[in-house]
Amino acid sequence: MGIKVDEYKDDLTVYPGEPKSVIVETYDDHRVAMSLSLIGTRVPGIKVNNPGTVSKTCPTYFSLLENMGIGITYHRE
């Protein structure tokens, strides 16, 4: 997304910036899919690879976002 991040053993520092449209890789982690998909509510063009990984904890996650009026586009290859 073009945002500077410093990684440490048990910590992250995320610096301010303007996120750019990207395809987000979830690495099969529901937390990544859920948290980074929220950036798509403010930044057009954010796409989440393997969004189904949210089924581990909240299979209705994207439906819940839609019910709140957040537009979700599903892409099948």
CA dist 45 and 20 (Å) reads 8
Three-state secondary structure call for residue 14: strand
pLDDT (tens, 9 = 90+) of the chain, 77 residues, equals: 999 999 999 999 999 999 999 999 999 999 999 999 999 999 999 999 999 999 999 999 999 999 999 988 876 65
Closest CA to 34 of 8, 13, 55: 55
Contact 4, 17 (CB under 8 A): yes
Name the helix (H) or strand (E) containing 18. none
Backbone φ, ψ for residue 26 (5° rounding): -90, -20
The pLDDT assigned to 74 comes to 76
The pLDDT assigned to 73 comes to 83
As given in the structure block, the two tokens for residue 17 are 């910036």
